Amino acid sequence: MAQPAAKAAPATPFSSQPHGGGVLLRRPSSPPPPAAALRLGPLFWPWQKVKVGPLSVSPMGFGTWAWGNQLLWGYQESMDSELQECFNLALKNGINLFDTADSYGTGKLNGQSERLLGKFIRECQGPIKSPDDVIIATKFAAYPWRLTSGQFVNACKSSLERLQIDRLGIGQLHWSTANYAPLQERALWDSLVEMYDKGLVRAVGVSNYGPKQLVKIHSYLASRGVPLSSAQVQFSLLSMGDEQMELKTVCDSLGVRLIAYSPLGLGMLTGKYDASNLPNGPRSVLFRQILPGLESLLSCLKSIADRKGKTMSQVAINWCVCKGAIPIPGVKTVRHVEDNLGALGWRLSPDEISELEAAAMECPKKMVQNIFQTA
Active site residues per annotation? 104
Runs of H (alpha helix) within the chain: 70-73, 80-92, 112-123, 149-163, 182-197, 211-223, 242-254, 283-290, 295-308, 312-322, 334-341, 350-361
CA distance 92 to 221: 36
- Please report, for residues 141, 237, 246, 327, the alpha-carbon distance to residue 241 in angstroms, rounded to integers and kept in the order given: 27, 9, 9, 17
- Please report, for residues 60, 236, 335, the alpha-carbon distance to residue 43 in angstroms, rounded to integers and kept in the order given: 11, 22, 17
Number of residues in the chain: 375
CA distance 76 to 259: 28
Asked whether the beta carbons of 231 and 247 are under 8 A apart, the reply is: yes
SS3 307: helix
Asked whether the beta carbons of 109 and 71 are under 8 A apart, the reply is: no
| H-run or E-run covering 52 | strand 50-52
Q: Rounded to 10 degrees, what is the CA torsion of 23, 24, 27, 33?
A: 130
